[in-house]
């Protein structure tokens, strides 16, 4: 069963795009057909996979605003099993354009449901805000994956996001679920990281992935080379963590499928 997962957090700098890139890459190495849909105007997920910014080609903007078929908006990433629907600077004005459109929150959902492309996972990299682009992602998705940086205000940000999640469930997408919460950028040498992890696990229980993504220099370096961590340094701590996350995501997908 295909999974559409929005990777979302309205806060920037929490490891959201790093998670999208590396989870997509590791799922693809495990034989899963993956589409990475970059819905952020900064297009960091696009460039982070070495896919040069080219505003003349179709991508997520055309999919969302012009209802261009998904099949015309995805491109070969140069990696087996992994395609990309690239972001572009045009998305910066998409919020204004969407505001005047009928069914503005359902544009992405309608575009995806009109497609007959086969994939196992469609991962949506959301912008760091709770505007119309993110609302489109939440309305189109089956579930959300929330990266949480192990910092002091982590739970406050998640509370605001989950309020939006509940609003979307009530008004736009009653099937939307929480796929999981992911602790990121963790420095196990600090007491703060340990305390935040304990608080998040106490608050959300089994919804929190067992995998914790460490703060890792190699993870930070990889996107500047246009590479996922599996390609840049597969023996690094960051690579091991994302490989473990991919396994955990697949297990959760199987469990969700068996329960449906």
| Domain architecture of the chain: domains with CATH | 3-255 (3.40.50.300)
pLDDT greater than 90 at residue 152: no
pLDDT the model gives residue 260: 65
**What is the rounded CA–CA span in Å between residue 28 and residue 89?**
27
pLDDT the model gives residue 1: 64
pLDDT greater than 80 at residue 155: no
Residue 13 pLDDT level (bands cut at 50, 70, 90): confident
- Mean pLDDT computed over 36-49: 96
**What is the rounded CA–CA span in Å between residue 170 and residue 51?**
37
191-204 and 154-171 helices, crossing angle to 10°: 30
In this structure, are strands 143-149 and 121-125 parallel, antiparallel, or unpaired?
unpaired
Per the CB < 8 A criterion, the answer to whether 247 and 255 are in contact is: no
32-48 in b/e burial notation, b at 16+ Cβ within 10 A?
A: bbbbbbbbbbbbbbbbb
88 vs 256, higher pLDDT: 88
pLDDT greater than 70 at residue 52: yes
Q: Please tell me the pTM assigned to this model.
A: 0.96
């Amino acid at each position: 069963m295909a999974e559409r997962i929005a990777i979302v957090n309205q806060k920037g700098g929490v490891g959201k795009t790093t998670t999208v890139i590396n989870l997509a890459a590791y799922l693809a190495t495990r034989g899963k057909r993956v589409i990475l849909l970059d819905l952020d105007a900064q297009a960091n997920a696009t460039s982070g996979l070495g896919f040069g910014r080219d505003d003349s080609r179709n991508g997520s903007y055309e999919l969302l605003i012009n209802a261009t078929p998904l099949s015309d908006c995805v491109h070969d990433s140069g990696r087996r099993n992994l395609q990309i629907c690239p972001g572009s600077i045009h998305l910066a004005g998409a919020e204004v354009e969407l505001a005047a459109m009928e069914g503005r929150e359902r544009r992405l959902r309608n575009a995806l449901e009109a497609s007959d492309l086969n994939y196992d996972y469609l991962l949506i990299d959301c912008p760091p805000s709770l505007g119309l682009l993110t609302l489109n992602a939440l309305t189109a998705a089956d579930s959300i994956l929330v990266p949480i940086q192990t910092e002091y205000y982590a739970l406050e940000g998640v509370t605001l996001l989950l309020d939006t999640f509940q609003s979307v469930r009530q008004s736009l997408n009653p099937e939307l679920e929480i796929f999981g919460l992911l602790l990121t950028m963790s420095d196990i040498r600090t007491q703060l990281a340990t305390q935040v992890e304990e608080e998040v696990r106490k608050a959300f229980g089994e919804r929190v992935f067992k995998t914790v993504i460490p703060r890792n220099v190699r993870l930070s370096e990889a996107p500047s080379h246009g590479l996922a961590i599996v390609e840049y340094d597969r023996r690094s701590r960051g690579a091991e963590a994302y490989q473990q996350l991919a396994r955990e995501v697949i297990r959760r997908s199987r469990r969700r499928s068996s329960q449906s």
